[in-house]
Structures are given as structure tokens and as C-alpha cells.
Structure 1
Amino acid sequence: MRAYFRLGPATLVTAAFIGPGTVVTASLAGANYGYALLWALLFSVIATMILQEMASRLGIVTGKGLGENLRHLVQQPLLKVLLYSLVVAAVVVGNSAYQGGNLTGASLGADAIWGQQSLVLSLKQHSGLNPWSLLLGVIAIVVLWRGRYQRIERFLIGLVLLMSLAFISTMLLTKPDLGAMFSGMLLPTIPSGATLTVIALIGTTVVPYSLFLHAASSATKWHNQPNKAQALAESAADLRTAIPLGGLITLAVLSTAATAYFGKGLQMENAGDLALSLQPVFGAAATYLMALGLLAAGLSSAITAPLAAAYALRGLLQLSPQWFRLSWLLIILVGMLVSSLGLKPLSIIWFAQVANGILLPIITLCLLLAVNSSLLGTYRNSLRQNVLGAAVFAATLLLSGRTLYLAFFS
């Protein structure tokens, strides 16, 4: 009997987009607007499933990642230079900047759980560094250095399940308003001042580097599977499980923040505040579960972000295994430096956001062209898939336009 649910390469996508940025965005959405923006989360999950299905199918059928397929499709020299430059700027430079945030977010979770240990306090006082950033960075390096794909996948599945347990348990402890939750999910509204939060909720879920990650990991996962139809069925079951699970995790964070903050006149600065604020009302268990979820979210993204950048570079530039390893290693080291010293590379992050804003619709369009090309033979897009893909492309175009406008004129 064919499995309807399973966990596989799509779990890497969930591990990638459920990072500290998503946790903070969902927390602020819930704290400031209650459940009103859940429709944006639902849309982002659906859009992610549509795009990631195409990326996975491309990887399975061609046996190559998105980068390799783009290299084959884009032959005009000027277009190739422009596309490669955008990918390097958005995926490689961007993930290097965001890596510091991944490790900092994971550190907040670790600090909420073990921060009062005397050894931790001593290291902070005498070195001026964040010891958690260094330790978590080393863990990310060890996982990627020693792990074959199967081991990395299993490790990330474990982190995603840990996040699920932590965040969903926290939500249940805080007893959300189910009526308001379903209303916010099914009746789209944008409260006054919420436009930026809507963009952020969608933008933290639908990201271009996840397409490189999923296509390459799917090609690796099913490279020995001669039955493409069977591999695609397994991938579909994987998508049905992992991406909605990521949406459920985000919903749990938003719901917890809505219960703890919305309508109570309280201000929240970051997700660490959310973890600490739960204890007086909901007990220590809620605080520790929230902190554990934040730790798992940061660590999972700290592993997948460098890996996605390395996959993109390998595909476009035909990197050798040594250069592939060096590329993700450098990104982790940059993140460790940024996080451990408490730096805020705002100009680099701004640059990465602009590059991402330009890249997302371009990569979406390239993906649509690839899955309609002769590369996929009988597995090309159907009319229904093209209609859905075109709708998501239009949404990414609007999202990116708004992101660029805000980056330059806000």
C-alpha cells in the first residue's frame, strides 16, 4: 500500500524556513494582530507546496539540482552573468548574513534554558563572546562535515519533529481561541499597519534558496530509483507531510503570541521575550518548550542555509566536492563570527533582501520554464500545474515589488 504521508527531502525545506526569522515574524504577527493574518500563512504554505513540487520533480526526473538545470537552460552569456550574479548575491551573500541570525536565534533558546549556568555566565563575562553561537556553529559544521545526505536528512527530521513537539505543545498549553483561528485563516483581512507583516509572513516561507535545496536533495535522495513515477509519488507524500507541518509550527508560534500578548497592552521585542513571558501565566513548562523550539529552529536553519547556498553554487559553477564543502563551511564561520560578537550587519542584510526581492520571481519563472521544457519529457507541467504556477509567479512578482519599494523608499 502506497504511503500517503512520509518525511524526506521536503523536511529540509521545512527546517530551512522555520528559522528564527519566521519565529520572530509569526510572534510579532500574533502579538500585534491576533489571528487576523493566518490567511497569509495559509497562502504561503500553498504557494510553497506548488513551487517545491516543481523543484522536486525537476530534481528527480533530470537527476540534477536546480543550479545544474539553469546552467543548461540559460545559454545567453549576458543573461547567464546576470542570473549567476543574482544567485550569488541573494543565496550566498544573503545566507551568510542570515546565518548570524540563525545562530543568534538558537542562542536565545539555549540561553533561556541553560543561560544561568555558572560556566556559561563566566564565559560571557570573561570573553565577551556568545558561547552558544560558537557551540551551535560547531554542531552545524560536524553534522555537514561527517554526514552523508541520509544522515543529514535524519538529523533535520529529528529537529523538525522536536520543533513540532515544542511549539505545538506550547500552543496547547496556552489554549488558543479556535473560532478566531479559523476565522483568521479563512477570511482575509489586513488590519491597519499590518501590510509589512503580511509581506514578512509570506516572504519568510516562500524563499528562492529552498528551491535549490529541494531540487538537489530530491535528486540525491532518488538517484538510484529507476521508477520515476514511484519516486514522484514518494516525493508527493513527502510534500504533503513536511510543508503543512512547517505551516502548523508557524501557526503554533503565532497562536501562542496571540494568546500571551494580543489585546493586553504588552510589548514584545523578540521571540526570547515570548518564551520568558509565558512562565507567569502558563508555567515553566511553556517557557522551556518555547525556548526548546527556538533552539531547534535556529539550529535547523543554521544547517540548511549554508547547505542550500553550497548546492546553488555547485550547480551553477560546477564546484568540486572540496569547493562544495568549503563554501558551506565559510558561510557557517561567517555566521559564527557575526553572532558570537553580537554584530548587526544591517547593510549586508538590506542588500540580501533587495537581491532576494529581485531573485524570487526570476527563479520562479526559470523553474516554470524548466518544468515545461523537454528536460522533463512526459513529466512536464500539466495545464493545472501551469495555472497554479502562474498564480504563484504573479504573487511573487507583487511581493518582490513591494519588498523592493520598501527597501528603497521606506
Structure 2
Amino acid sequence: MSWRKYLGPGPLVAAAFVGPGTVTVCTLAGVNFGYELLWALALSIVATSVLQEMAARIGLITQQGLASVITFTLSKGLLRYFSLGIILFAIVLGNAAYEAGNISGGAMGMELFLTLPLLNFGQIQINLLNMSIGLIALSLLLWGNFQKITQVLTALVIMMSLAFLFTAIIMMPEIGKVAAGFVPRIDQSNIFSIVALIGTTVVPYNLFLHSSLISQKWQAVSDLKYIRVDTLVSVILGGLVSMAIVITAAGSDALSVSNAADLAKGLEMGVGVYAKYLIAFGLFAAGITSAITAPLAGSLVVCDIFGWPKSIQGKYMRGGILLILGLGLVFSSLGIKPVQLISAAQIANGILLPILSAYILWLVNKKSIMKNSVNNLSMNIIGGLIWLITFILGSWTVFRIFN
């Protein structure tokens, strides 16, 4: 049996949630709390695996994306328009705002290898590194196909994983201290970091992306075993990358660290120049992979909601990709800081995540849709606990923004 049967859109899921934001959050968690928050990442891996499997199962059985299923089942009424409005706002506008961070994060990693001049046109300043990363992502999305994009992202995710994992090994952490980090500890000082670590892993747009891409690879119910392996391996790999970043940051001697680029510079003095370049490459790979997946996911959601064709070379998909990536490129390359836009997107995502996870739980128990692939009791219990986590996470996100 060929191993290729097990390779689906899972690497795109890993590429999407291990972005510059995740790298930064994990770096700060390691610097501020050492190894003690590794348990939060382990919890987020479980939550992400369960939700992604459910979303993928819905995509397999219905052969539609999650947004299409929502549009079909909520055929009328206020709930339909509220749900679709939140989805469009959070996924499309939110992804455009986050795209700026993806591009800027990738450029931050590249700056440790090379420096390109800033172009000034009056009050406008263009960052050529940001522009280059945006154009690389755009060219792959516009002139590639799902198979080629998956292959490129798989290669990048593997290289990114090796870069961060190898750096963590170089730090030679004490196994006992690392193991102690998997014992839950919650207090007032670390609660915000715990929620941030979970929030960077359980990503709403990943659920839409995964369910939409499933039918590109698998169609039969018997393929569910391949989907589960693809999903579990990819999410665990992404989680291990996040843990490696925490371990590296916890063991560093950097005096002042506010992001992964600072960590890379700090490692150069204590461990050597190779560690610096490994972290720099990892940050670059995290940025460019997320810069590819964010506009792809946003465009798929738009096409699902309006019933448009989802061919990546079709005009509707290309239009959505150009809009999302173009806005992100403008925000990042021209030095615009879309703080209010990102804040609004976070509020929408905070509302969307518990609603979406509840809707997924309802759908996977709906026999008219899922046939014999409905949830069993144990999956419903686990799913209910995960919904509670997403509710707390979403409530905290909204509370944090308004305060």
C-alpha cells in the first residue's frame, strides 16, 4: 500500500497554525515561564486533532466544505444570516489582517540572512522583503494547483519542523524539567499565556480549509482511516514544533526577547551561529507557509458560501486570493499597522470559535447528513469538553480586546 494514500491536506493544516504568531507566542511563553506551559500545548494538540477530524469527516461524507454545509442546513432565518455574516467577517477580513503578520514575520526571519533597502516614495515606504514574500506566495497560489501547493507546503513544513526541533536538541534541556512542564499549573501570572498558546493552535479558518480540501483527495467512506492518520500526524508535528520553540526559548540566555528574531540573535552568542540561522529559517518558513494558506482558506470560504466553483485556477478563487493576499501585502509592505482591523477580526474569531465548534458537534451527530459516520459517546464527551475550552477561549479573546 502506497504511503501517498495517507498524504492529504494535513500539512496545510500544520502550515496554517504554525505561523509567525505561534512562533512569537511560544517564544514569549518559553522566555517568561520556562517549560511550565508545555501542558497547554499538549492540550491544544488534543483539541485541534478532535475538531479537525470532525471537520474533515463532515467534508468527506458531504463532499462539501464546512461553509457550504452551514449554508445548506441553515436555509433561512436570522441564525443563517448571523452565522454567515460572522464567518465572512472573521475568515475573510480577519485573514487579510493576519496575512500582514504572516508576511512581516517571514521577512523578519529573512532579515537575519540578508538585508534589502527600503524604498521611499514621499510618505510611502515599501519593504522589499515583505513584497518578495508576498509575491512568492501569490505566484504559487495563482499558477499552481492543490497538488503542487500541498507538495511545496509539505516540504516547507518538514524543513521548518527540523529547524526548530534540531535547535531545541542543541539546547540540551534537562529531561526532568521538560517532563515537569506537562503537569498543569494555572495562576494569575500565566493564564493569558495559556489561552494564547491554545488560541494559536485551535484556529477557526483551519476547520474550513480542511473540510473544503478533503474532497480534492478522498471520496469514499473507507478513506476515513487515511484522513485520520493524515490529520493526527500533521497536528502532532505542528504541536511538536511549537513545543520545540518553547524549549529553545526557555533554555536561551537572551537578555531581551520580544519575538523569534530576538531569540535567534540571542542564541548566536550562547549556542553558535548555526542556531541563529536555524531559528531564522524556521521563522521564514512559518511566515511563508501561513502566507499561502490564509488567502487560500479565505477564498475557499467565500466560494463555499456563495456556491461558486472552487477550482484554484478559476476566476472566483483567484479573485478571493488576490483580495486577501493583496490587502495583507499592502498592510505589511507600506508599513500600515492594521491594529483596529486585527482587533475586530479577533473579536469575530472569539465569537466564531465556540459557535463553529458547537455547530460541528451538532452536524457530526446529525444522521441525515453523516449517515453511519456520526459521533460515538466518547467522541461527544471529548467534543463537549473541547467546546467548553473554545467558549472560555472565545470569551477571553473578546474580553481582552474590549479591555
Same fold (TM over 0.5): yes
Deviations 1:138-163 (A, max 9, x none): 11111111121111111110110011
Kindly state the Cα deviation for residue 7 of structure 1 after the two structures are TM-superposed: 3.7
Who is 1:278 aligned against?
A: 267
Matched, 1:128 2:116: no
**d(CA) in 1 for partners of 2:4, 2:229:** 5
Who is 2:321 aligned against?
A: 328
Determine helix, strand or coil for the equivalent of 2:126.
Answer: coil
Kindly state the Cα deviation for residue 77 of structure 1 after the two structures are TM-superposed: 2.4
Larger relative helix fraction: 1
Contact preservation (8 Å) 1:95, 1:331: yes
Contact preservation (8 Å) 2:125, 2:335: no
Contact preservation (8 Å) 1:7, 1:242: no
What are the equivalent positions in structure 2 for 1:80-119 lying under 5 Å apart?
80-115=80-115
Kindly state the Cα deviation for residue 267 of structure 1 after the two structures are TM-superposed: 2.5
Determine helix, strand or coil for the equivalent of 1:128.
Answer: strand
Who is 2:387 aligned against?
A: 393
Which one-letter code corresponds to 1:94 in the other structure? G
What are the equivalent positions in structure 2 for 1:50-65 lying under 5 Å apart?
50-65=50-65
Who is 1:73 aligned against?
A: 73
Which one-letter code corresponds to 2:35 in the other structure? Y
**Residues 1:305 and 1:38: Cα distance change in structure 2 (over 3 Å):** same
**d(CA) in 2 for partners of 1:147, 1:56:** 23
Who is 1:247 aligned against?
A: 239
Identity percentage over the alignment?
A: 40
What are the equivalent positions in structure 2 for 1:327-406 lying under 5 Å apart?
327-373=320-366, 374-406=368-400
Kindly state the Cα deviation for residue 357 of structure 1 after the two structures are TM-superposed: 0.3
Kindly state the Cα deviation for residue 128 of structure 1 after the two structures are TM-superposed: 3.4
Who is 1:141 aligned against?
A: 138
Which one-letter code corresponds to 2:57 in the other structure? R
Which one-letter code corresponds to 1:128 in the other structure? Q
Determine helix, strand or coil for the equivalent of 1:398.
Answer: helix
**d(CA) in 1 for partners of 2:328, 2:301:** 18
**d(CA) in 1 for partners of 2:201, 2:352:** 15
Matched, 1:206 2:202: yes
Kindly state the Cα deviation for residue 390 of structure 1 after the two structures are TM-superposed: 1.0
Who is 1:190 aligned against?
A: 186
Once superposed, what is the RMSD of the aligned Cα atoms?
1.7
Deviations 1:204-224 (A, max 9, x none): 10011100000011121114x
**d(CA) in 2 for partners of 1:172, 1:387:** 37
State which of 285, 301, 324 in structure 2 corresponds to 1:312: 301
**Residues 1:175 and 1:7: Cα distance change in structure 2 (over 3 Å):** farther
State which of 249, 256, 259 in structure 1 corresponds to 2:251: 259
Deviations 1:270-314 (A, max 9, x none): 111111111011111000000000000000000001111111111
**d(CA) in 1 for partners of 2:49, 2:5:** 14
Contact preservation (8 Å) 2:60, 2:218: yes
**d(CA) in 1 for partners of 2:396, 2:331:** 28
Which one-letter code corresponds to 2:147 in the other structure? Q
Structure 2 residue runs without a partner (length 5+): none
**d(CA) in 2 for partners of 1:305, 1:354:** 18
Deviations 1:113-136 (A, max 9, x none): 122xxxx23x55788321111111
Contact preservation (8 Å) 2:205, 2:298: yes
**d(CA) in 1 for partners of 2:119, 2:267:** 26
Who is 2:213 aligned against?
A: 217
Kindly state the Cα deviation for residue 401 of structure 1 after the two structures are TM-superposed: 1.3
Who is 1:235 aligned against?
A: 227
Contact preservation (8 Å) 1:45, 1:205: yes
Deviations 1:20-50 (A, max 9, x none): 0000000000000001111110000000000
**d(CA) in 2 for partners of 1:258, 1:405:** 29
Kindly state the Cα deviation for residue 16 of structure 1 after the two structures are TM-superposed: 0.2
Q: Which moved more, 1:398-407 or 1:292-301?
A: 398-407
Determine helix, strand or coil for the equivalent of 2:165.
Answer: helix
Contact preservation (8 Å) 1:156, 1:300: yes
Q: Which moved more, 1:398-407 or 1:202-211?
A: 398-407
State which of 265, 276, 297 in structure 2 corresponds to 1:287: 276
**Residues 1:346 and 1:138: Cα distance change in structure 2 (over 3 Å):** same
Kindly state the Cα deviation for residue 8 of structure 1 after the two structures are TM-superposed: 2.2
Contact preservation (8 Å) 2:10, 2:210: yes
Contact preservation (8 Å) 1:368, 1:389: yes
Deviations 1:151-200 (A, max 9, x none): 11111101100111111111111112221111111x10025421111111
Which one-letter code corresponds to 1:402 in the other structure? W
